[in-house]
Amino acid sequence: MVTLKLDRAFYSEAIAIFYTTFEPARRVERAQVSVHISALQGKTIEHAKTLGGMCAGWTEEDQTFFNMEMVWAKASDDELMLSLSRQCVEKLTEAAKLRNVYLPFIWMNKAQT
């Protein structure tokens, strides 16, 4: 997950980066890749801090999370899928920094179930 300042124009670019980066995943059998963008108001963060804080350390400004979700069935695809995830985060981070919309909170959950 990459955290961004609100910038509607950048969302189109971010989606294009996502699709381009994950193109090789289309050939992975029994794999699914998706993305969603979630908004978080600065007021919500401010209120949470009055109740004891937020473990994420988010700033008190309106922001969005560009959250990528991936599932795949075969361990033999681990390297490719995790590599694509890292590449996408790196590309999104670089592009967001160029537009001055990057917020330095990156999340990657390698949950194995």
Mean pLDDT of 62-71: 88
pLDDT in tens, 38-63: 888 888 888 888 887 766 667 788 88
Tokens 């108001």 belong to 41
Averaged pLDDT of the chain: 87
Could you tell me the pTM of the whole model? Answer: 0.80
More confident residue, 53 or 79: 79
Spatial distance between the Cα atoms of 34 and 81, rounded to a whole number of angstroms: 13
C-alpha closest to that of 63 among 36, 95, 38: 38
Is residue 35 within a helix (H) or strand (E), and if so which, with residue range?
Answer: strand 31-40
More confident residue, 61 or 81: 81
Q: Quick one: pLDDT at residue 107?
A: 59
The three-state secondary structure class of 11 is: helix
Q: Where are the domains of the chain?
A: 2-106
